[in-house]
Amino acid sequence: MKILVVDDDQVSLNMLKEFLEKNHFEVFLAQSADQAMQQVRANHIPLVLSDIKMEESDGLSLLGDLKAKYPKIVMIMMTGFGSMEGAIEAIQKGAFDYISKPFDLIRLLSLVNKAVKHVHSLGQVEAPAEEALLDAPKALIGSSPKMVEVYKTIARATLSTSTVLIRGESGTGKELVSRAVHLNSDRKNKKFVAVNCGALTETLLESELFGHVKGAFTGAQTDKKGLFEEANGGTLFLDEIGDISTGLQVKLLRVLQEGEIKPVGSNAQVKVNVRIVAATHRNLDEMVDQGKFREDLFYRLKVIEVEIPPLRERKEDIAELANVFLKKYSSKLHKKVSEISKEGLQSLMNYAWPGNVRELEHQIERAVALTSSSVLTADDFNFVQGASDRSSGHGDSKVAISGTGEQRSLEEMEKSHILSVLKQVDYNKSKASEVLGIDRATLYRKAQKYGITLKNE
């Protein structure tokens, strides 16, 4: 099959040409958008592999121009600057896929072969047509391969109205992902409503979700609309969905099946049109096996699944995240803190980050607030120094503590870290939650999990 490679880097062009020709492609080359348009037009090329960032050309503009003239042309976009907005823009503009540099050539070949099958399924390149571009506001930070996969899944989720299940540890950015899905979908002009299911009792959560009528229970002095009605036409984000009771699971399943709710105390059914985006840090597969979570609801929720990697598994993003937070809090706190020293960045890289991105943000905010220097150093950060990255493989991860030779699981480290923070703040739960970078409901849940007594309750 004919394939056009577009890149202004001659070395990259030559390497890709040699590799693709060895794999039986007829390869054409272009170093600019104009050359690419000419090559496609002259040689009837159905498949294009194009860089996004080029000195004199914009790969995304080329994508739009080619898709406008040849709607069935199949394009794979390459970038050395992976981002959520880039993935969303590329896929919503019609790209077949999006891959970040540096990439493994075998992985690239696998992707190109999938694109070839797609070309065959589409038939011949067609006549001109128009395609719209949806703006993609920035919500997430990081260009690691794992985050690029997250961005691609978000981009595809925006093209449908199916339910989305976001999985990830506390502090990884699950609500940011949910907002990104909403803001880039055709529901973006409607309401986005969020609720933390783990922070409310069963009775209160049912009333919050479905509303109630006057007299439904003690204190219900007027009718009240629930969050489903409030989000009608838009998106409802159900955070910590794994914490809801089996009774509420049945009622939520009915909403997903029938598209209607019944307010507490009422016999009337109310039709709603709401997209559900749910999130959890729990292992729902295990909960299904244990009978704690309904299997039918689980499969209804995970039509589209987004897995957010913990920060310790994408450490190449730490410097970028830290510098974004440094700018944010230097401005917010009116401090002239311009950079993080090499040793400071290394200390951030060496830490296991049980609280993930939220904890990193808190550490930077705290450091900026307390420093009297224009440069943050390792001494400005307040965490257990020397925690190494998660070991490879599956099962219980072990983390080595520098200088001791001791092997501790991440759960043991997290428990120790929570206890240490609680002692530092004299068991003030609000302050402890802030330092840990988690909300109070998560602190209570973790305390229960690890058998930690929260004093002065």
* Nearest alpha-carbon partner for 58 in 144, 116, 133: 133
Residue 269: pLDDT above 60? yes
Q: CB of 438 within 8 A of CB of 239?
A: no
pTM: 0.60
Structure-model confidence comparison of residues 421 and 347, the more confident one: 347
Residues 413, 411: Cα–Cα separation, whole Å = 5
Spatial separation of the C-alpha atoms in residues 258 and 250, rounded to whole Å: 12
For tokens 């348009």, the residue is 37
Residue 217's pLDDT band (cuts 50, 70, 90): low
Element (H, E) at 413: helix 410-424
Q: What CA–CA distance (Å, rounded) separates 80 from 82?
A: 6
Overall average pLDDT of the 361-387 stretch:
82
Question: Mean of the per-residue pLDDT values for the chain?
Answer: 82
Task: Provide the CATH number for the domain formed by 2-122 in this structure.
Answer: 3.40.50.2300
pLDDT at position 250 is: 93
No. of H helices and E strands in the chain? 18, 16
Segments of 146-269 assigned E as strands: 164-167, 192-196, 235-239, 260-261
Is residue 125 scored above 60 in pLDDT? Answer: no
Compare 14 and 102 and report the one with higher pLDDT. Answer: 14
CA distance 320 to 189: 31
Instruction: Please give the pLDDT value at position 399.
Output: 40
Q: What is the pLDDT of residue 136?
A: 29
| Domain at 160-307, CATH from 3.40.50.300, 3.40.50.620, 3.40.190.10, 3.30.70.260 | 3.40.50.300
3-state secondary structure of 429: helix
Percent of the chain with pLDDT over 70: 86
The pLDDT-based confidence of 145 (bands split at 50, 70, 90) is confident
If you average pLDDT over each of 26-40, 53-67, 211-225, which comes out highest? 26-40
Decide: 237 and 192 in contact? Cβ < 8 Å.
yes
The pLDDT-based confidence of 248 (bands split at 50, 70, 90) is very high
The yes-or-no verdict on residue 221 having pLDDT over 50 is yes
Kindly report which listed range (30-34, 347-351, 409-413) carries the lowest average pLDDT score: 409-413
d(CA 228, CA 208) in angstroms, rounded, equals: 9
Q: What does the pLDDT read at residue 391? A: 33
Q: Tell me whether domains 2-122 and 160-307 share a fold.
A: yes
- Whether residue 411 is predicted with pLDDT greater than 80 in this model: the reply is no
**Separation between Cα atoms, residue 177 and residue 180, nearest integer Å:** 5
Winning range, highest mean pLDDT, from 137-151, 322-336, 391-405: 322-336
- Which of 178-213 are b and which e, b meaning 16 or more Cβ less than 10 Å from the residue's Cβ? bbbbbbbbebbebebbbbbbbbbeeeebbbbbbbbb
Answer whether 136's CB lies under 8 Å from 89's CB. Answer: yes
350: its two tokens: 């060496």
**pLDDT for residue 218:** 63
pLDDT at 418 over 80: yes
Q: What is the pLDDT of residues 167-189, one digit of tens each?
A: 999 889 999 999 999 988 999 88
Question: What pLDDT score was predicted for residue 353?
Answer: 92
Q: Which are the contacts of 249, defined by CB distance < 8 A and separation ≥ 6?
A: 293, 294, 297
Query: What does the pLDDT read at residue 356?
Result: 92
Domain spanning 312-450: which CATH class is it, in words? mainly alpha
The predicted model gives 213-222 an average pLDDT of: 71
pLDDT greater at residue 67 or residue 104:
67
Q: Are 152 and 86 in contact (CB under 8 A)?
A: no
What gap in Å lies between CA 28 and CA 321, rounded to an integer? Answer: 39
For residues 132 and 134, give the distance between their C-alpha atoms in angstroms, rounded to a whole number. 7
What per-residue confidence (pLDDT) applies to 94? 86
**Residue 392 confidence (pLDDT):** 32
Domain boundaries, the chain: 2-122, 160-307, 312-450
Q: How far apart are CA 112 and CA 92, in angstroms?
A: 19
pLDDT digits (tens, 9 = 90+) for 419-455: 888 887 778 887 787 777 677 777 877 887 788 888 6
Which stretches of 222-294 are DSSP H helices? 227-230, 246-258, 284-289
**Are 203 and 246 contacting, i.e. CB atoms less than 8 angstroms apart?**
no
pLDDT on residue 126? 39
- Bridge partners, 304 (sequence order): 164
Q: Which two tokens stand for residue 57?
A: 């050309």
Q: DSSP assignment, residue 224?
A: B
Pair of tokens at residue 9: 């880097």
Residue pLDDT, tens place only, 288-344: 999 999 999 999 999 999 999 999 999 999 999 999 999 989 988 999 999 999 999
In tens, the pLDDT along 72-113 reads 899 998 877 656 666 777 888 888 888 877 777 888 888 898
Q: Which of 116, 23, 42 is nearest to 74 (CA)?
A: 116
Q: How many CB atoms lie within 10 A of CB 383?
A: 21
Structure tokens that stand for 457 in this block = 């309750």
Residue whose tokens read 């550490």: 363
Under 8 Å between Cβ of 420 and 387: no
48-62, 119-133, 222-236: least confidently modelled range = 119-133
Token pair for 33:
């958008």
Report which DSSP code applies to 141. Answer: -
Q: Which amino acid is at 351?
A: Y
Tell me the residue type at 95.
Answer: A
Per the model's pLDDT, the better-predicted residue between 250 and 386 turns out to be: 250
> Residues 6 or more apart from 24 whose CB is under 8 A from it?
none
Torsional sign, CA 446, 358, 141, 231: positive
Half-sphere exposure of 220 (CA within 13 A, CB side): 19
pLDDT at position 124: 46
